Structure 1
Amino acid sequence: MAIDSLITLTGEAWEDYGLVDSGHGRKLERYGRYHFIRPEPQAMWSPAQDNWQADGEFIGASDEDGGGRWHLKPYVPKEGWLLQWEDVCFLAQNTSFRHLAFFPDMAPQWAWMRERVTENAEILNLFGYTGVGSLALAAKGAKVTHVDASKKSVASAKNNAELSGMADKPIRWIVDDAVKFTAREARRNRRYDGILMDPPKFGRGPAHEVWRLEENLSDLISEAVKLLDKKSKFLVLTVYAVRMSALAIGELLSQATQHLGGSVEVGEMAIKEEARGLNLPTAIFARWKNDQ
């Protein structure tokens, strides 16, 4: 399966989220009733307005790899506040990692996967974080295995399930290293109808396993495709904050899934700005699909 084109997957605003404006290395976003400013190196243009009004701003450190802190108005609730996407309710919260405990640009991926999920489909969500993607698929009848190395993230995901009225949905909540878990599932000859993976650039497992995207992604993909067969429907891979090409991860996924048939799409993820309709790039992705 040769990769001969790139696509742009653009997220639109919804009731509880919008990219209001962007420019000069920053972005102004709406999260429910609150507005926040965050650093955004991709926003190299000028903003539509100069006088942004916000309830808080994340001031990044000078180093490229992150750091920094939030400067919030005193009324912004530290415990978070309720947001909703489609039939999924969840808490947004100002985290020390500069994001808001979910990734709004994933909404088009959630919608795409929901179109391919049938009742009782077995779905694996690796690096599942606070569970919005898992709940989006469970709401459509999928049986989801949600894996994350962070106990805190899995606890937040369970809480979001409660908020969504999905505590009784067939979701396995697992605190584990994604690489080790996937390898064990492959040895057990487990099969899934779909896989979502959103790996970080760097991370540690619950037993202090070290994850480095550039070093470990290829092996993880190799193990993950062992959990798919020719009746499986998709594998979605999203990658943030790395010097890596969409074509590179596309060719990696294409090579790994060539025995399954189907096709691979690759490209950039973006969010459409409300002020002018500009597309702000956020991540790269590759996804294998089998529409037969």
Structure 2
Amino acid sequence: MKESILSLSPQHWKDYELIDSGAFEKLERFGPYIISRPEPQAIWDRSMDEKEWREKAHAHFAKEKNNPEKGQWKEFQKIPHKWQIDYNNPAGLKLTLNLAMTSFKHIGIFPEQAVNWDYIEESIARMPVEKPKVLNLFAYTGAASVAAKAAGADVTHLDAVKQVVTWSRHNMESSGQEGIRWVVDDAMKFVKREIRRGNKYHGIILDPPAYGRGPNGEKWVLEEEINELLKLCSEILEPDHHFLILNLYSLSFSSMIAANLVKSNFGEVENAEHGELYLEDNFQKKLPLGIFFRFRKL
């Protein structure tokens, strides 16, 4: 399997900026609003002093002592609970995404994933198939689903949480798209049913959490489940024209682990790329935010 090892970061995004990172936090601009949030991988010092950091921020997420993922937002300047930003790439992909300050520090998008939105759009545009079928598993608020739809795909969007599927629908409508198929289900169970039905997909996107629950309490532990899920996905990927994107956020995983998972379940694949996703702040510090493996046969 010939591979390219890459580090990828979004470019050309006027509505997003990583201003600074450090002291286990990141300072980001989403459209006109600046927020600071916990970031466990930013173990270095801030480049700006804390006073300047706080003066810039419209809001800061203060985490709970016993749960770093949960807490409350503290507002320093007037900021709406919900707002929109745009993503436009040089190839013509246009997305309008709805953001909101949640109690789990997330606001509805992972900016580092923009490089994969570009990859999805390019893969579908180059594929000699009239309307490629794309399956987005663990799809969250659906920016990747909307990117695939905007590129001309027939998209199935799956997530276990009904509320984020509703959020995804808003992103689709705000971006001027329609017709995505929404599924609230457990990813493993759904893929097994697709195998029995004989359904195939030209594109599969997997963005699994480290831990999670299905809609009926099904337990998901990344280390225990990802190998089986990839094995199942190999049975529903179209053999002649396809792409697959795997994102992994667990701190214990490396891109070599992702490469081994793909090789053991898909064999030799074409145009393989793997490495780190990162965001670069205004002081040239690179903040790693997960690993990826992707391949395509067009």
Answer whether TM exceeds 0.5 for this pair: yes
Q: Hey, what does 1:284 align to over in structure 2?
A: 291
| SS of 2:27 mapped into structure 1 | strand
User: What does residue range 94-109 of structure 1 map to in structure 2 within 5 Å?
Assistant: 94-109=101-116
Alpha carbons of 1:57 and 1:65: their partners in 2 closer, same or farther (altered >3 Å)?
A: closer
Cα distance in 1 for partners of 2:68, 2:253 equals 15
- Residue 48 of structure 1 and its aligned partner are, at CA, apart by 2.4
Cα distance in 1 for partners of 2:77, 2:279 equals 29
CA contact (8 A) 2:145 2:157 kept: yes
For residue 214 of structure 1, the aligned residue among 207, 223, 234 is 223
Supply the AA of the counterpart residue of 1:271. Answer: L
Cα distance in 1 for partners of 2:155, 2:100 equals 24
User: What does residue range 1-292 of structure 1 map to in structure 2 within 5 Å?
Assistant: 1=1, 6-12=5-11, 14-50=13-49, 51-52=52-53, 53-63=56-66, 66-73=69-76, 75-78=78-81, 80-86=82-88, 87-118=94-125, 119-167=130-178, 170-258=179-267, 261-273=269-281, 275-291=282-298
- Residue 95 of structure 1 and its aligned partner are, at CA, apart by 1.5
Cα distance in 2 for partners of 1:187, 1:219 equals 16
> What does the per-residue CA deviation read over 1:157-215, in whole Å, with 9 as the maximum and x for residues that have no partner?
11111211213xx3111111111111111111111111001111111111111111111
CA contact (8 A) 1:57 1:72 kept: yes
Alpha carbons of 1:64 and 1:156: their partners in 2 closer, same or farther (altered >3 Å)?
A: closer
CA contact (8 A) 1:254 1:288 kept: no
Cα distance in 2 for partners of 1:190, 1:184 equals 9
Alpha carbons of 1:27 and 1:65: their partners in 2 closer, same or farther (altered >3 Å)?
A: closer
- Residue 66 of structure 1 and its aligned partner are, at CA, apart by 3.0
- Residue 263 of structure 1 and its aligned partner are, at CA, apart by 4.2
CA contact (8 A) 2:191 2:232 kept: yes
Cα distance in 1 for partners of 2:262, 2:31 equals 36
CA contact (8 A) 1:12 1:271 kept: no
Question: Which runs of 5 or more residues in structure 2 are unaligned?
Answer: 89-93
Q: Hey, what does 2:91 align to over in structure 1?
A: none
CA contact (8 A) 2:38 2:61 kept: yes
CA contact (8 A) 2:123 2:296 kept: no
CA contact (8 A) 1:270 1:283 kept: yes
Q: Which deviates more, 46-55 or 187-196?
A: 46-55
Cα distance in 2 for partners of 1:74, 1:279 equals 28
Query: RMSD of the alignment, in Å?
Result: 1.8
Cα distance in 1 for partners of 2:243, 2:96 equals 25
Cα distance in 2 for partners of 1:121, 1:13 equals 27
Cα distance in 2 for partners of 1:120, 1:218 equals 29
CA contact (8 A) 1:2 1:254 kept: no
How many aligned residue pairs are there? Answer: 285
Supply the AA of the counterpart residue of 1:276. Answer: F
TM-score normalised per structure 2: 0.90
Cα distance in 1 for partners of 2:248, 2:116 equals 13
- Residue 64 of structure 1 and its aligned partner are, at CA, apart by 7.0
Supply the AA of the counterpart residue of 1:11. Answer: P
Supply the AA of the counterpart residue of 1:81. Answer: W
Cα distance in 2 for partners of 1:69, 1:47 equals 22
> What does the per-residue CA deviation read over 1:206-230, in whole Å, with 9 as the maximum and x for residues that have no partner?
1111111111111111111111132
Q: Which deviates more, 13-22 or 69-78?
A: 69-78
CA contact (8 A) 1:8 1:270 kept: yes
- Residue 63 of structure 1 and its aligned partner are, at CA, apart by 4.5
- Residue 13 of structure 1 and its aligned partner are, at CA, apart by 5.8
- Residue 272 of structure 1 and its aligned partner are, at CA, apart by 1.7
- Residue 45 of structure 1 and its aligned partner are, at CA, apart by 2.6
Cα distance in 2 for partners of 1:91, 1:75 equals 18
